[in-house]
Amino acid sequence: MLSRVADSLYWMSRYMERSDGILRMLKINYASSQDDINEFSWKPVLHIFTYLEEEQANAIEHHSRAVLQYMVTDKENPNSVLNILTKARENARSVQDNITKELWQCLNDFYHAVRDEQLVQWLHKEDPVTILDTLIKHGLLYYGTADITMSRGEGYAFLNIGKFLERGVQSADILDVKFSDRDFDFTKTDTTYWKYLLLSISGYELYLKTYRSGFEAKNVVEQIVLDENFPRSVNYSVQRLYTYFERLKNQKNAEGFQKIEFLIGKIRSRVKYSTVETIMHQGLHAYLTGIREELYEVANALDQYYFAYL
Amino acid sequence: MQTTELLNTYFVDSGTWDEMYKDTAVREQYKGVVEFMQQLNVDELNRKEELAKRLFMSQGITFTVYSSGEGIEKIFPFDIIPRIITAAEWKYIEEGIKQRLKALNLFLKDVYNEQFILKDGVVPVEMIYSCPHYLREMHNFPVPYNIYVHIAGIDLIRNNDGSFYILEDNLRTPSGVSYMLENREITKRIFPDLLPKNNVRSVTEYTNILHRNLVSLSPRPINNPTIVLLTPGIYNSAYFEHTTLARLMGVELVEGRDLVVSNHRVYMKTTSGLQQVDVIYRRVDDEFLDPVVFNPGSMLGVAGIMSAYRKGNVAIVNSIGNGVADDKAIYTYVPSMIRYYLNEEPILKNVPTYHLDNLEEREYVFGNMNKMVIKKTNESGGYGMLMGHTASEEEILRYKVEILKNTREYIAQPIISLSSSPCYMNGKLQPRRVDLRPYALCGPEGIQIVPGGLTRVALREGSLVVNSSQGGGSKDTWVLAG
């Protein structure tokens, strides 16, 4: 496979994962804003997902519609869903002959849906949940189409490497900012807050089934970092990353393969041999920072050994 | 409103050959389509037009126009009413194009090697040496199977008596074939069952034939040669076409930066190291192909690719330097080439063409500017054209001044009216001028032409310029089985 093609598939996939993460997070935070006794603040969201200055964030932190518009359709926001999808589509366009026609069309339709000029108005006037749901469904269609139509070759491996690397980073991000945001007292119980945190990454039902009891910080951390069955956990993402990377083994790129296998193996062990107690002991923020940095190291090594073509 | 009313109010200009109507009678080959349309009301017709647009958009059959820093997706305008060619007409066109292409390939081989045609004075030597597309780099180099033109797009027009003329040969990197293929796919969706009912011949073989030809050109005698389609990249207006062809043939779509030349061989950079490339179907112009030999500023090409080509380590399609054969001044000599190389009379006629470096012809043209179209010899895509009948006095004067600066760079042709075809526009049927570009494929086993082509439409009322870069659209083109 051409290095450039591998690179584009990987980035297309990272951007698609990112757009999905942002849309889900927006949907649940919006729901949460309708449910809050105190005035809901979008600050944590703006903190993780935008580059806004403190004052700019302060200006819109209590205005859900303004935040939604900024995060979904704003052309000036490099991390808006619109801009992320544009990048995903540019990448897809340059590898159109390496993805199925169905996958291309589905991504292309998604792109046109976000570009629809009426969307801005709808976000202003209509029910935001309906709109976000529609967009999320476009994303689900993309995942399903990739799953059902793409051949299980090298391209598929790169798609998934991008997807799970991005997901690992995102889950770490969400957890980190949510907790570090408010000088978190881990002993305090704040049910609404955790409920929405879990909901935003589709982990609420699993939490209830696993822990049955009320909300406890360490359980939430355990599920989002360590649970091997929770598809958004750091552990799950890293395991999948490892599985798909292993599929590149038979290639002639032995040096690069070994280097990256080593790097992913390191994160795997770190996550595997952590317990919630050791994480809390080390400090959640320090732990998550470490994971993120190691994931970025993998990304850089992929650039160097697999995608370099200039 | 019923569509019958639309058909009844269709008005054909009396001095023009209309493809669908002869006076007020529907031509035989269009009866099936007209009957089908009569069953529809205008709302239904509008919905079909909507569906066509949506399909183009959703499939990303679009080109991007960049304005105010933002990309806007546009579709190449498509008219839902097909253009139909009878079996007899097609037979004539097919034979004519095959004959012409055979002669043009012989001409290229000759002009880059022995140059008999120049020595015999059939084509003047100055014509060749003054042509910017004549490349000395191609001298005395035996191209595989003596094929220079593997893919040709030959533009035909129809005069007011219905006879076909060759307007232009496109022998470098002719584009538009993906629209021949996609337009047909759209027709299948908007007019269910209509194609088989009318005995329309299929065009899908195109990419199979092309792929077979590319494989047979591989310099390495291996089962699975590496074939690539070289594109200038996603910002090229024909990028959609490049991806479509690569996908339909299952070949790798590469950009210049994916390729590297080492020891006179071309390789592509893959995730498992370098992989040798055998055949390159390039959609990058000669000038940009190799920065070492041609334009040193080119970012689109591959340094050293010419040396690999000349060593015979890679096949390049179309060959390099073909521009000398589709230059608009050389065009005049194609009938003579056919007589010279094949000893046959040309089947398809040329449009009469005046050379402006010939004093007598120039005087005549200058005296009749309002009946002439002036073209730049080395431009394509409808650029550098002056239509004398609509041009203002100042424009004509400016062109005369330009022509006198370099008479070799311009030719003149009498304005030919072009046949018209009904188009469904703004809820009305309106006559618009069309041309026809069939695509001929030339391989070691001969020349094949898929029964179809691209019908380009001049969308502005009365306009005779069909180029897509000048606001042209297209139609699905049906060739009927006998």
Domain, as residue range, for A209: 162-310
Among residues A150, A173, A195, which one ends one of the domains? A150
Digit-coded pLDDT (tens) for A216-238:
888 888 999 999 999 999 999 99
Cβ pair B258:A306 closer than 8 A: no
Distance from CA of B118 to the nearest CA of A (A): 45
Do A200 and A73 belong together in one domain? no
Count chain A–chain B contacts defined by CB atoms under 8 A: 69
Query: Where do the domains of chain B lie, and which CATH numbers do they carry?
Result: 352-414 (3.30.1490.270)
Report pLDDT for B328. Answer: 87
**Does A50 reside within a domain?**
yes
Digit-coded pLDDT (tens) for B380-403:
667 778 888 888 999 999 999 989
Digit-coded pLDDT (tens) for B105-131:
999 999 999 999 999 999 999 989 989
Distance from CA of B223 to the nearest CA of A (A): 19
Residue B219, classified by CB atoms within 10 Å of its CB into exposed (0-12), middle (13-18) or buried (19+), is middle
Report pLDDT for B381. Answer: 67
**Does A91 reside within a domain?**
yes
Digit-coded pLDDT (tens) for B297-342:
888 899 999 999 999 999 999 999 999 999 988 999 999 999 999 9
Predicted TM-score (pTM) of the model is 0.87
**Does A157 reside within a domain?**
no
Instruction: Return the H-helix or E-strand segment holding B24.
Output: none
Is A102 within 8 Å of chain B by CB? no
Ranking A182-196, A201-215, B238-252, B343-357 by mean pLDDT, the lowest is A182-196
Question: Would you state the structure tokens that stand for residue B136, as one six-digit string?
Answer: 């000395």
Instruction: Return the H-helix or E-strand segment holding B125.
Output: helix B125-129
Is A149 within 8 Å of chain B by CB? no
| List of chain B residues with pLDDT < 70 | 65-71, 380-381, 469
Picking from B59, B246, B271, the nearest residue to A3 by CB comes out as B271
Do A183 and A298 belong together in one domain? yes
Give one DSSP letter per residue of A269-305, joined into a string.
HHHHT--HHHHHHH-HHHHHHHHHHHHHHHHHHHIII
Report pLDDT for A310. Answer: 47
Report pLDDT for A184. Answer: 60
> Which residue is it, tokens 């967009």?
A135
CA proximity to B353, closest of B364, B367, B338, B340: B364
Residue of chain A nearest B274, judged by CA positions: A2
Q: How many domains does chain A have?
A: 2
**Does A295 reside within a domain?**
yes
Do A245 and A274 belong together in one domain? yes
Output the average pLDDT for chain A. 89
> Which residue is it, tokens 């955790």?
A194
Digit-coded pLDDT (tens) for A79-114:
999 999 999 999 999 898 899 999 999 999 999 999
Give every CB contact of residue A210 below 8 A, 6+ residues apart in sequence. A219, A223, A227
Report pLDDT for B67. Answer: 62
Question: Would you state the structure tokens that stand for residue B426, as one six-digit string?
Answer: 């703004």
Query: Residue B263 corresponds to which amino acid?
Result: N
Furthest CA-CA distance within chain B = 70
Instruction: Give A251's contacts in chain B (Cβ within 8 Å).
Output: 271-272
Banded model confidence at residue A183, pLDDT cuts 50, 70, 90: low
Is B69 within 8 Å of chain A by CB? no
Which bin fits B410, alpha (ψ -120 to 50), beta or left (φ > 0)?
A: beta
Output the average pLDDT for chain B. 91
Report pLDDT for A187. Answer: 64
Do A85 and A199 belong together in one domain? no
Digit-coded pLDDT (tens) for B153-191:
999 999 988 999 999 999 999 999 999 999 999 999 999
Q: Is the ipTM of this complex over 0.90?
A: no
Distance from CA of A176 to the nearest CA of B (A): 34
Do A182 and A283 belong together in one domain? yes
Question: Would you say B144 and B217 are in contact if contact means Cβ atoms under 8 Å apart?
Answer: yes
**Does A156 reside within a domain?**
no
Instruction: Give B239's contacts in chain A (Cβ within 8 Å).
Output: 93
Cβ pair B70:A108 closer than 8 A: no
Cβ pair B269:A3 closer than 8 A: yes
Question: Would you say B328 and B377 are in contact if contact means Cβ atoms under 8 Å apart?
Answer: yes
> Which residue is it, tokens 């909901």?
A199
**Omega prior to B322 cis, within 30 of 0:** no
Residue A201, classified by CB atoms within 10 Å of its CB into exposed (0-12), middle (13-18) or buried (19+), is buried
Instruction: Give A11's contacts in chain B (Cβ within 8 Å).
Output: none
